[in-house]
Structure 1
Amino acid sequence: MIESFVPHITKTATYLLLILLLAGCSQFSSRPGAVNFHNVSARYNAYFMAEQDMMEAEFAMKQAYKENYNQLLPILLPMDSVLSLPVKPKLQDAIKKSSIVAEKHQNSKWLDNSYILLGKSRLYLGEWADGLEALRYVYANGRDENDKNNALILLMRAYIIKKDYSNALGVAEYLSQQPLSKSSLRDFYLTKAYLHQQNGEYLTSVAILEETFPLLKKSVETARIHFAAAQMYDQLGQYALANKHYRSVNKNRPSYDLGFYSSMNSLQNDVVLNPKKDLSDIGFDKMLRDRKNEDLRDRVYFTMGLLAEHRKQIPDAVGYLQKAISASKGNVQQKAYTYLQLARINYESLENFEVSKAYYDSALAILPREVPEYVLVADRKRALDSFVKEYAIVTTEDSLQKLAKMNPAALDNRIDAIIEAREKKRIDDEEKAKKAQLAAQAANPQSIANPMLNSNERRWELYDPTLVTQGKIDFKRAWGNRQLEDDWRRSNRPLRSVAGNNPLNPADSLTATAAKVDAGLQKGSAEWQQEHDKLKADIPLTDNQFADSQKKKEDALYNLGKIYRFDLKESHRGIATFERVLTEFPKTQYKDEIYYLLYLSYEDNDQNKGSWKNRLLTEFPTSTYARLISKSTDAAGNSGNPVKEYEAVYQLYSQGNYTTALENIERDLPAYKGGSMEDKFALLRVFLIGKVRGKEAYGQAITEFMRLYPMSVYLPRLKEMQEFNSLSMGKR
């Protein structure tokens, strides 16, 4: 009996001991045994697994991140929720594991680390509010100063990504006064350099990086930071210092692409630093022959184009850049930047605006929306769409007016010469294109037998200005010079087809075409005379036709000036264009507005600014533009509350007190210039003018509003008002 009772006592004692032990290991206990137990459990279970998940996720995101070497490389990689999508399960698991420490190991020394890991995971997933809250919790309640500093460094990085630079600077100021460990100091320096880089303060950023490099070990990440530093020195014009860091890239185990781009950028700087350096000695030919550079040949040609442009060798630059496009093999971003470079050269150096527009179209079609240049390129493309249209009108009317001033015999000879030059150019272009096509197909005979064989390598023609030009040549060869009109295929004009064209045997057709090209129009033939009469019909030979041509030219020049001034941001060209309008059309209907725009276009310290202001106030003292330019005491004493002012004027309007309301709004309108309600006040002014000054003044006010506020939300309404006013005045 006693023997059977002893095991029972032993078993009960064991249970009691276990209960006491567990009670002593409570997560809220401060006893050494309890703390050690939770330290071990937190570190080697939950936190360890969460940390592994984070390391694997960050490695995968780094591998997936695609560097854009045409852009300034960010010192720290972005925390992008899109980039984190493939590793979302890993990050969610890291959140789950790190949360266990917060729930079950409150007295563990790994609690702060777990909260930092939790916050970082949420930031990667785009859960900014929760992520920031976790990091702020560590700063407010953390027990370890080093962990608190690390949380603040990560918080600072989050502020930078959200472009909250003021808060980021506040955190940086606090951290700069704290004693930091070596690893924390490294991370702080990198984050602060990143802050100044993203804020455009490159000199401060590189100064911080210079202090950081001794703290960094050799690695791919160190190599890309050297590359970023070199790029910022390039931005500052410090090319020798930039090359120092480009050389450091290759000393820090870079990826092949990173090493290649650092070498290319260094070569560019060498040429800038040594203007007499022979480009043939740089080694571009060797790079192009290197099989490892097969996918980077477009960048080699791109660099050659940049260097040729730097030396004012514009034709060579264009040739190299076009070779870069042809050599492109899937690097869409590089091709987009090549298109942009060609667009800029054609606009600035060659003034070939239509070709420039075509290259901008091509760049915009393939440029990623997230790159900083996208919005600028889109705006410039829209501006050039309008610019090319107006520029074509000006050049066309200029040419036609010069022809109209010639005597009849000279005019006929000139028209014949134009037709002859057009035909010669068409035949030459066609012959060159066909020879090039024949050479290309001879190099790849399979494409003749099966034209669709390499269709996957073909670019859409509208993306490539070269193919667009070739398409125009082919169209003219088949259909002639056709106007843009309905049913153009039904014209009675005889077609000029290529002899020997046999679709069943494309190779024979190409050979025949290359050997015998269309001879073109023959002078004296009916077709030649038809073309002659068609061109002559466009020339403004009568007074009415010449007046119409002058009006088209005047309107186009005025529109060009505004495009230069507001869309292309080229005030100097806008000024020249506006002054040309005043010179060629002294009685232009746009004179008061042009005076105002010239006043706006000059710098404040330029004496011409005051001159145009005086002319406007002298010649058009009662115009809207004179009121806008005036700094009257009435406007200066305005209450400053546009909503209340509008309500007061509108109340006068609704009460039928139109004259007083109009006087008030015209007196105070300059005070609202540039404000969000400016066009609303101007719209009410239009209504009041209609009530006070009659239909003719009302129509002029509508036209004036449409010129002054082309982007106003009220514009559709104004157009309806203009149409109705025209009908009521019997103009339609």
Structure 2
Amino acid sequence: MADQDLKEAEFAIKKAYKENYNQILPILIPLDSILALPAKPQLENAIKKTSIVAEKHQNSKWVDNSYIILGKARLYLGQWADGLEALRYVYANGKDEKDKNDAMVVLMKAYISRKDFSNALGVAEYLSQQPLSKSTTRDFYLTKAYLHQQNEEYLTSVAILEETFPLLKKSIETARLHFAAAQMYDKLGQYALANKHYKAVSKNKPDYDLGFYASMNSLQNKVILDPKVDLSSVGFEKMLNDRKNLDLLDRLYFTMGLLAEHKNNLPQAVEYLQKSAAANAGSNKTQKAYTFLQLARINYESLEKFDLSKMYYDSALSILPREAPEYKLVAERKRALDNFVNEFTIVSREDSLQKLAAMNPAALDNKIDDIIAANEKKRVEEEKKMKAAAAANTNGQPGNGPVLDLSQRRWELYDPAMINQGKIEFRRIWGNRVLEDNWRRSSKQMSSAANMVAAASVDSAAVEENREMKKGSDAWLAQHKELKSHVPLTPETLAASHKVKEESLYKLGKVYRFDLREDERAVTTFTRVLNDYPKTGYKDEVYYLMYLSLPEENPEKPKWKDRLLAEFPNSTYARLISKAPAKEGELAAGGQVREYEDMYKMYSSGDYDKALNSIENNMPSYKGSSLEDKFALLRVFLIGKVRGKEAYAQSITEFISLYPSSVYLPRLKEMQELGSISAGRR
């Protein structure tokens, strides 16, 4: 009876589990107490019944089986300690070898669910030396394949699965395992073997979704295996036209977008991905999130439309489930791109303004007139298109008002992609405007030269609809004057523009280095800082970051170290770079801990100068160790005690730039903000 309760519970858990076909399907359904909530009554009944056997019938031949069911039920409910204890009891006291082995298989799965791979491997090693029954062999193979899959050892995992398939009967579970095997072959780049298993899915009673994804992925591999195959002829059109696939159009267009990108047809890839985002409005937010991520990546890496990429990351993060494995990476990427777009926009703006300032007055006036004319022409064309579209909709059904093809166009406020496009268009025309009254007034400063240039779109009150603003008119002259006012034509405004550009270039290099992990672009940007501004105040740090960013085999790397030591021998960066990192084993972790304790005692007892000298002299030897940022944090506190507030603020800034992933960073940023507040009050 308890066994029947457990089977009913496992059926309910499988029913509650939602497959994510954007990820490799797990070979076994994870042990998850949230998934088990619908089955809680059955699991509690199983625990109650098996407890009776364990407590009152110790001589029964079913004691071992009862403890296995008891252990599994407790694991499903999240009662890990009690569940593991029950399974270990069977291993230690069981009378039947098969029951002991079955308990160890369940114990192995529990370890995998807790990411305790070392203990799971230990159990696997034990079971591999035992004579196992056919059913236990099957379960052991599946669990061991699951272990290697979760450890991202896909080649080993799929090899074990290949040995398991002869032991399995035709069922939806077997179809699911074939699909997981195919996905792992895809990951390994073995597309022909993947297609073999995708085709095996249809022979093992899959449900509709599983069969759909297997067929679609098989078509995808067919295109990859034969580059001459055209997307329109391979079979996707047939799947798109199948009424049964209406709820899966987003996934079909998504796959077609990936294949178009694989063929280096980026415009078509973007078109398909946008269709994916627009399909099945609101029905599959997880798929929409992955679509936005692909659009964000293409716009950043290939099209270099950074504003649009940032917007797509924003949209993806807003709908991506927090439990998704990509969520943390996407959140970090989004934050990095926020910083990148801000600094990149500033650099582009000042570059454009400075180029305009370098023109002679007549050329500048002509350039501004060309800009106004181009934007006027574009505005009028867009208005004509909107009127034509409205007229076409009205004429489609005379007397019944406008008719919209809802399958092709959705209301913008329901479509994050269209919302983001609207935001970008607004910023292109008006710049970064604060949410306030009278935001269109000409006294508001534009955010970039590109934005300033595009701002020649004239207020509708100034220009008659569908008519271009005439050159020399009052409206034209007002626009001309407005745009020209932002060009740095005086020595003072030009110097201010260069100062802003210098600082943003420096920050942009750090974003490349620390946030985006693009060392090559970081080196290019830092080189530009030094070339454009040879007297920059960031020179010592730029030398240090150039040294860090260049690969070890680059012959230029030692030169930056030499320049830093020669020009800034007493700087913090020179101290950090002057000694080689401690070799493995050269400075034991215990020794570092004792050193830290000694220095902290000096700090606690008020011997600040001695502690600070000791840390700064030895700081290079901690480089690369697990305690490096801990020593650096203590150094910040000591500088605050010894060298005053300005040096203290500078040391916090240095820490933030040198240790962007430190666990102490939130505390340092809070200290920095508090320092700024207190300074403002003074």
- Match runs of 1:173-192 below 5 Å: 173-192=125-144
- Match runs of 1:537-686 below 5 Å: 537-631=485-579, 641=591, 644-646=594-596, 648-649=598-599, 659-673=609-623, 675=627, 676-686=629-639
Of 244, 247, 258, which residue of structure 2 is paired with 1:306?
A: 258
**Partner SS state of residue 276, structure 1:** coil
Report deviation, 1:449. 8.2
CA distance in structure 2 between the partners assigned to 1:354 and 1:157 by the alignment = 45
Q: Residue type of the partner of 1:400?
A: L
For 1:424, the equivalent position in structure 2 comes to 377
The verdict on how the C-alpha distance between 1:370 and 1:447 changes in structure 2, with shifts beyond 3 A counting, is: farther
Q: Residue type of the partner of 1:375?
A: K
For 2:150, the equivalent position in structure 1 comes to 198
The verdict on how the C-alpha distance between 1:271 and 1:146 changes in structure 2, with shifts beyond 3 A counting, is: same
For 2:321, the equivalent position in structure 1 comes to 368
For 1:157, the equivalent position in structure 2 comes to 109
CA distance in structure 2 between the partners assigned to 1:437 and 1:126 by the alignment = 59
Identity within the alignment, %: 60
Aligned 8 A contact 2:33 2:78 in 1: yes
Q: Residue type of the partner of 2:119?
A: N
Instruction: For residues 355-394 of structure 1, give each alpha carbon's deviation from its aligned partner in whole angstroms, at most 9, with x where no partner exists.
Output: 0111111111111111101111111111111111111001
Report deviation, 1:565. 1.4
CA RMSD in angstroms, aligned pairs only? 3.3
Is the deviation greater in 100-109 or in 463-472? Answer: 463-472
Report deviation, 1:716. 3.5
Instruction: For residues 7-37 of structure 1, give each alpha carbon's deviation from its aligned partner in whole angstroms, at most 9, with x where no partner exists.
Output: xxxxxxxxxxxxxxxxxxxxxxxxxxxxxxx
Report deviation, 1:522. 3.3
Report deviation, 1:681. 2.3
CA distance in structure 2 between the partners assigned to 1:244 and 1:680 by the alignment = 56
Aligned 8 A contact 1:249 1:262 in 2: yes
Is the deviation greater in 715-724 or in 325-334? Answer: 715-724
CA distance in structure 2 between the partners assigned to 1:450 and 1:259 by the alignment = 37
The verdict on how the C-alpha distance between 1:643 and 1:518 changes in structure 2, with shifts beyond 3 A counting, is: farther
Aligned 8 A contact 2:219 2:235 in 1: no
Report deviation, 1:639. 9.2
Aligned 8 A contact 1:661 1:688 in 2: no
CA distance in structure 1 between the partners assigned to 2:433 and 2:386 by the alignment = 24
For 1:27, the equivalent position in structure 2 comes to none
Matched, 1:406 2:354: no
For 2:296, the equivalent position in structure 1 comes to 343
- Match runs of 1:72-221 below 5 Å: 72-221=24-173
Report deviation, 1:228. 0.5
The verdict on how the C-alpha distance between 1:315 and 1:176 changes in structure 2, with shifts beyond 3 A counting, is: same
For 2:267, the equivalent position in structure 1 comes to 315
Aligned 8 A contact 2:336 2:511 in 1: yes
Instruction: For residues 125-174 of structure 1, give each alpha carbon's deviation from its aligned partner in whole angstroms, at most 9, with x where no partner exists.
Output: 11111111111111111110000000000000000010000000000000
For 1:38, the equivalent position in structure 2 comes to none
Q: Residue type of the partner of 1:626?
A: A
Report deviation, 1:257. 0.9
Matched, 1:249 2:201: yes
Report deviation, 1:719. 5.0
Report deviation, 1:558. 1.3
Q: Residue type of the partner of 2:460?
A: R
**Partner SS state of residue 232, structure 2:** helix
The verdict on how the C-alpha distance between 1:652 and 1:462 changes in structure 2, with shifts beyond 3 A counting, is: farther
**Partner SS state of residue 501, structure 2:** helix
Of 312, 316, 330, which residue of structure 2 is paired with 1:359?
A: 312
The verdict on how the C-alpha distance between 1:243 and 1:476 changes in structure 2, with shifts beyond 3 A counting, is: closer
Of 493, 496, 504, which residue of structure 1 is paired with 2:460?
A: 496
The verdict on how the C-alpha distance between 1:609 and 1:407 changes in structure 2, with shifts beyond 3 A counting, is: same
CA distance in structure 2 between the partners assigned to 1:434 and 1:114 by the alignment = 75
CA distance in structure 1 between the partners assigned to 2:392 and 2:399 by the alignment = 13
Instruction: For residues 295-322 of structure 1, give each alpha carbon's deviation from its aligned partner in whole angstroms, at most 9, with x where no partner exists.
Output: 1111121111111111110001111111
Q: Residue type of the partner of 1:714?
A: L
The verdict on how the C-alpha distance between 1:520 and 1:100 changes in structure 2, with shifts beyond 3 A counting, is: farther
The verdict on how the C-alpha distance between 1:259 and 1:700 changes in structure 2, with shifts beyond 3 A counting, is: closer
Is the deviation greater in 183-192 or in 619-628? Answer: 619-628
Report deviation, 1:198. 0.2
Aligned 8 A contact 2:5 2:42 in 1: yes
CA distance in structure 1 between the partners assigned to 2:140 and 2:613 by the alignment = 61
Aligned 8 A contact 1:557 1:581 in 2: yes
The verdict on how the C-alpha distance between 1:624 and 1:526 changes in structure 2, with shifts beyond 3 A counting, is: same
Is the deviation greater in 53-62 or in 520-529? Answer: 520-529
Aligned 8 A contact 2:519 2:549 in 1: yes
The verdict on how the C-alpha distance between 1:702 and 1:333 changes in structure 2, with shifts beyond 3 A counting, is: closer
For 1:717, the equivalent position in structure 2 comes to 671
Aligned 8 A contact 2:104 2:123 in 1: yes
CA distance in structure 2 between the partners assigned to 1:273 and 1:134 by the alignment = 50
Aligned 8 A contact 2:240 2:252 in 1: yes
- Match runs of 1:8-23 below 5 Å: none
The verdict on how the C-alpha distance between 1:447 and 1:540 changes in structure 2, with shifts beyond 3 A counting, is: farther
CA distance in structure 1 between the partners assigned to 2:346 and 2:158 by the alignment = 50
CA distance in structure 2 between the partners assigned to 1:696 and 1:257 by the alignment = 63
The verdict on how the C-alpha distance between 1:419 and 1:77 changes in structure 2, with shifts beyond 3 A counting, is: same
Report deviation, 1:529. 1.9
Is the deviation greater in 301-310 or in 623-632? Answer: 623-632
CA distance in structure 2 between the partners assigned to 1:430 and 1:474 by the alignment = 16
**Partner SS state of residue 357, structure 1:** helix
Of 207, 218, 241, which residue of structure 2 is paired with 1:266?
A: 218
Of 174, 184, 196, which residue of structure 2 is paired with 1:222?
A: 174
Is the deviation greater in 280-289 or in 423-432? Answer: 423-432
- Match runs of 1:510-525 below 5 Å: 518-525=466-473
The verdict on how the C-alpha distance between 1:725 and 1:617 changes in structure 2, with shifts beyond 3 A counting, is: farther
CA distance in structure 1 between the partners assigned to 2:579 and 2:16 by the alignment = 58
CA distance in structure 2 between the partners assigned to 1:158 and 1:192 by the alignment = 12
The verdict on how the C-alpha distance between 1:713 and 1:79 changes in structure 2, with shifts beyond 3 A counting, is: same
Aligned 8 A contact 1:669 1:681 in 2: no
Structure 2 unpaired stretches of 5+: 444-457
Is the deviation greater in 610-619 or in 313-322? Answer: 610-619
For 2:446, the equivalent position in structure 1 comes to none
CA distance in structure 2 between the partners assigned to 1:690 and 1:472 by the alignment = 47
Q: Residue type of the partner of 1:408?
A: P
The verdict on how the C-alpha distance between 1:593 and 1:189 changes in structure 2, with shifts beyond 3 A counting, is: same
Report deviation, 1:447. 11
Q: Residue type of the partner of 1:465?
A: A
For 1:25, the equivalent position in structure 2 comes to none
Report deviation, 1:53. 1.2
CA distance in structure 2 between the partners assigned to 1:441 and 1:159 by the alignment = 65
CA distance in structure 1 between the partners assigned to 2:193 and 2:122 by the alignment = 31
Aligned 8 A contact 2:9 2:42 in 1: yes
TM-score (norm 2): 0.88
CA distance in structure 2 between the partners assigned to 1:242 and 1:634 by the alignment = 46
Is the deviation greater in 714-723 or in 326-335? Answer: 714-723
